[in-house]
Amino acid sequence: METEQMSIFEQLDQLRITSRSEIPPHDFLYTWNGVPCFARGELVAVTGKAKSGKTYLNSILMAAAGGPEVLGLKRIREKPLRVVWIDTEQSADSTHEILRDRIGAMMGAEASEEAYHVFNLRQVRWQDRMTLVLAAIAICMPDLVIFDGIRDVVGDINNYEEAQNTIGQLLKVASEYKTCIVCVLHQNKAAEDKTLRGALGTELQNKSFETYECKKDPETRIFSIQQTATRKYDLPNKIQFCVDKEGLPVGCASVEAEQASHADTSQPGVKEIFRAAMMGYSEMRAGALKAQVMMRQNLRSDSIYGGLLGTALQQGVLIRRAVSDREVYYQPGPQMIEPQLDFGG
């Protein structure tokens, strides 16, 4: 009994932290607009509704791991990071296409097989996936792990024992191999519910070092990434981007610049474009407004329209009124209204 007590005392002594403990500070992989983020030895949660841009965020992380700065995200050390990408959701063809045509294109070079270890586990039984995930981390010893999606390694997302065991295993290997593990998990389906799904989501949220929420505006088609929780450094602003004609994430200003480069200099500005499209109405449904602008300006790109609409909202040319998630109206904003014009309808 005394031996067992001493063993416990020794273990507690090793685990004790005092003000004089020599513990290294967090080692971050990136800065985002100058703010350190994505720390080694920690879990990071990436969440959002379906098709909200989570895979784009993963692609941005992986491109910046081996290439130049992407949308303000820049790796801290000069040497490229080693990456493991676990994909349990998409087909092998989709995984390959993203690696080759999106990540490679953003890097400006083919993803190195020595630095990028990509595994598609969709065809593997869910009971066997976690073993392969842990083995991939142990063998490849990556700096960054993209785990998309963590839901597919548990049988019951609402089982607390499974959730604790899964998150516990990931925390252990993150600490042991000094890697940052980015875990992707959907939010609950209800539009107003932004919590992560099930007991697994609760456990992931509690244990994550940071959480990032992805959104997509259905009207402007502008994606946004927002840090919603952190244990260290706050990212004060959302990261916003559009998708260009090549399917790559770019700053929304780039889409507007692309439009301007192809436009006649005599074309009207944003205020005039939306004033003409509103046709004197005091309010117009989102779909009808888009149709008017696309027709009048001879636009073929949804992204360009999204850039115009986003600018109009930012400048106060338009005001957005959401009746529901699927029913949105736009009204003239203070920058559009002039005394001589009557929008009273």
CA angle 248, 251, 257 (to 5 degrees): 100
Together in a domain, 245 and 148: yes
Q: Are residues 178 and 268 in the same domain?
A: no
**Contact at 8 Å (CB) between 133 and 167?**
no
293/235 same-domain check: no
Residues 160 and 279 placed together within one structural domain of the fold: no
Radius of gyration over alpha carbons of the chain, in Å? Answer: 24
Q: Which residue has the tokens 């338009």?
A: 318
pLDDT reported for residue 311 = 84
Give the model's pLDDT for residue 280: 86
Residue 7 maps to a domain: no
Instruction: Please count the other Cβ atoms lying within 10 Å of the Cβ belonging to residue 269.
Output: 13
Task: Choose one of 250, 268, 292: the last residue of a domain.
Answer: 250
Domain assignment present for residue 13? The answer is no
The C-alpha atoms of residue 210 and residue 205 are separated, in whole angstroms, by 8
3-state secondary structure 315-327: CCCEEEEECCCCC
The domain that holds 117 is classified in CATH as 3.40.50.300
**Sheet architecture: strand order including 35-39:** 35-39, 28-32, 73-75
Averaged pLDDT in 10-residue chunks for the chain of 345 residues? 67 89 92 96 96 95 96 95 97 96 93 96 97 97 96 96 97 97 91 85 96 89 93 91 88 56 55 90 89 84 76 87 80 75 40
Together in a domain, 167 and 76: yes
What one-character-per-residue DSSP string does 203-260 give? HHHHH-SEEEEEEE-TTT--EEEEEEEESS----S-EEEEE-TTS-EE-HHHHHHHHH
- pLDDT at residue 341 in the model: 41
- CA–CA–CA angle 63, 47, 239 (5° rounding): 55
The last residue of a domain, from among 250, 282, 312? 250
Whether residue 229 lies inside any domain: the answer is yes
Instruction: Supply the DSSP symbol for 77.
Output: S
Is there a single domain that holds both residue 84 and residue 113? yes
Q: Say if residue 307 is in the same domain as residue 236.
A: no
Tokens in use for 156? Answer: 């019951």
Same domain, 74 and 132: yes
On whether both 258 and 246 belong to a single domain, the answer is: no
Q: Are residues 37 and 143 both part of a single domain?
A: yes
Which position has the token pair 């070092």?
209
CA distances from 12 to 5, 15, 17 (A): 11, 5, 10
Which pLDDT score is estimated for 252? 76
User: Which residue, of 206, 231, 250, is where some domain finishes?
Assistant: 250
Separation of alpha carbons 274 and 261, rounded Å: 20
Q: Considering its fold, how many domains does the chain have in total? A: 2
Helices (H) and strands (E) in the chain, counts: 11, 15
Count of C-beta atoms within a 10 Å radius of residue 253: 14
Q: Which helix (H) or strand (E) holds 148?
A: strand 144-148
- Same structural domain for residues 62 and 182? yes
**Distances 313 to 213, 265, 297, 339 between C-alpha atoms, Å:** 22, 22, 18, 20
Q: What is the pLDDT of residue 337?
A: 75
188 and 323 both lie in a single domain: no
CA angle 116, 122, 123 (to 5 degrees): 115
Tokens linked to 306: 């999204």
Q: What is the pLDDT of residue 268?
A: 66
Structural domain for 306, as ranges? 254-332
Nearest CA-CA partner of 53 in 314, 258, 251, 240: 240
CATH of the domain at 294: 1.10.10
For 28, the 3-state DSSP assignment is strand
